[in-house]
Amino acid sequence: MARPVVAIVGRPNVGKSTIFNRIIGDRLAIVEDKPGVTRDRLYGSGEWNGRAFSIVDTGGIEIDGEDEIMKSVRMQAELAVEEADVIVFMVDAKAGLTHADDEVAHMLFRSRKPVVVAVNKVDNQGRSDEIYEFYSLGFGDPIGISGAHGTGIGDLLDAVVEKLPVIEDDEYDEDVIRVALIGRPNVGKSSLVNAILGEERVIVSDVAGTTRDAIDTPFEHDGQKYVLIDTAGMRKRGKVYETTEKYSVMRAMKAIERADVVLILINGEEGIIEQDKHIAGYAHEAGRASVFVVNKWDVVEKDDKTMQHFEQNIRDHFLFMTYAPIVFLSAKTKQRLHKLLPVVNRVSEQHSMRIQTHLLNDVVADAIAINPPPTDKGKRLRINYVTQVAVKPPTIVIFANDPELMHFSYQRYLENKIRAAFEFEGTPVRLVTRRKS
């Protein structure tokens, strides 16, 4: 269920972002690419040979000071070692093996994480001898690729997929709601965890013996069982790079993968930042239920319009997630805290809701009657039948004469009609068109 994370690591200018863009751009089926999802992507979700995974370009971490390149490369490597399941270590055939490469190799080697060495800028396939010196890094066969020409990328993905671990499903029961709290540093994640737990009996505080470094916290409220995901990660502190965006986004990705419901914390005092969008976009693409939690509401100067304005602001920034409810609260004063868990229960229920086929077909038939699919070059989409094939998130297959004729705007129209009938509050709904005449 949870997708493994692949991280690309390497010195500046070896071609990490070029390869990242090629991989998410044309080599992989991007799960969902709706307008409104942030453009400056830190991650991509994809599939290769039937294996789904996320991929992150760890490049671009900027820090000041002397020896900054080495420092930033070291940080990327640490980040990848902590959070990734497979590491693509990228080096540059034109520059050859450098001291920095050796140092990174050393760090990666100690971590024992699976590593694939990608030798970029092998622009001339005839010059494949350029890769030989990189055998000395000690990670097996280096793969020659060219970001410029797009060659070798299939081989690289083959090697990556071969090393992807199978991530075991959590040992929690079906009726336990797994909740992840995510948001930028200092938004109030640990405070909110403490506020929630302060009122509840904590069943156990550690899940011992698991291979993951995360520690989850189970608790019960009004007869409903919950697990707060990766509460240990929230407590881990003190490292300089913790505040860098890529670090927290990657950590958040891992937590989101393991959650049913994602609480996206926003700082009520400071408003929405780009990082909030990256995290929300990831939760959406991962198919998780989401709730926006505007924290620090106690310090916001309010009049009777403040909440409404903040709500509109959220809707404007997260166009792709109008389904997610918004809760305003204060983890510090516990003001409005009692509103949170009922909303979590509600979206969790909607996330696993199953709609009977005949009801779904009635709604879609009505939608088509009101607004038939437009024609495209003289051909018209004919929808024969719809059925829900999965939950978490609800996934609906539309059988039609020709999936190519399903346009984004018409699909959005159908989704709106389906939501108008069945709501699906807090959850993405996936519509997939398949051929069947």
Which residues are documented as binding site? 10-17, 57-61, 120-123, 183-190, 230-234, 295-298
Nearest to 44 by CA among 76, 5, 89, 72: 5
Q: Across-strand partners of 47? A: 52
Q: How far is the CB of 353 from ligand GDP (least distance, A)?
A: 31
Q: How far is the CB of 307 from ligand GDP (least distance, A)?
A: 15
Binding positions for ligand GDP, rule: CB under 6 A: 10, 12-18, 59, 120-121, 123, 146-148, 183, 185-191, 234, 295-296, 298-299, 330-332
Give the CB-nearest residue to ligand GDP.
Answer: 147
Q: How far is the CB of 248 from ligand GDP (least distance, A)?
A: 9
Q: How far is the CB of 255 from ligand GDP (least distance, A)?
A: 12
Nearer to ligand GDP, 310 or 320 (CB): 310
Region at 295 (left for phi over 0; alpha for psi -120 to 50; beta for the rest): beta
Tokens read off for 177:
């709601």
> Kind of pairing, strands 51-57 and 5-10?
parallel
- Which amino acids are annotated as binding site for GTP, given as ranges? 10-17, 57-61, 120-123, 183-190, 230-234, 295-298
Residue 150, CA atoms < 13 Å, CB-side half-sphere: 7
Nearer to ligand GDP, 330 or 427 (CB): 330
Bond into 403 cis (ω within 30): no
Cβ pair 336, 328 in contact under 8 A: yes
Q: How far is the CB of 416 from ligand GDP (least distance, A)?
A: 34
Cβ pair 192, 296 in contact under 8 A: no
Write the single-letter amino acid at 246. K
Q: If DSSP codes are grouped into helix, strand and coil, which group holds residue 120? A: strand
3-state secondary structure 350-380: HHCCCCCHHHHHHHHHHHHHHCCCCEECCEE
Q: If DSSP codes are grouped into helix, strand and coil, which group holds residue 182? A: strand
Q: How far is the CB of 166 from ligand GDP (least distance, A)?
A: 30
Nearer to ligand GDP, 94 or 379 (CB): 94
Q: How far apart are CA 424 and CA 106, in angstroms?
A: 49
Nearer to ligand GDP, 95 or 431 (CB): 95
Nearer to ligand GDP, 295 or 388 (CB): 295
Nearer to ligand GDP, 15 or 287 (CB): 15
| Residue 202 CB neighbour total at 10 angstroms | 12
Tokens read off for 116:
């694939």
Nearer to ligand GDP, 77 or 234 (CB): 234
Q: How far is the CB of 128 from ligand GDP (least distance, A)?
A: 13
Tokens read off for 125:
């396939």
Burial 251-287 (b: 16+ CB within 10 A, else e): bbbbbbbbbbbbbbbbbbeeebeebbbbbbbbbbbbb
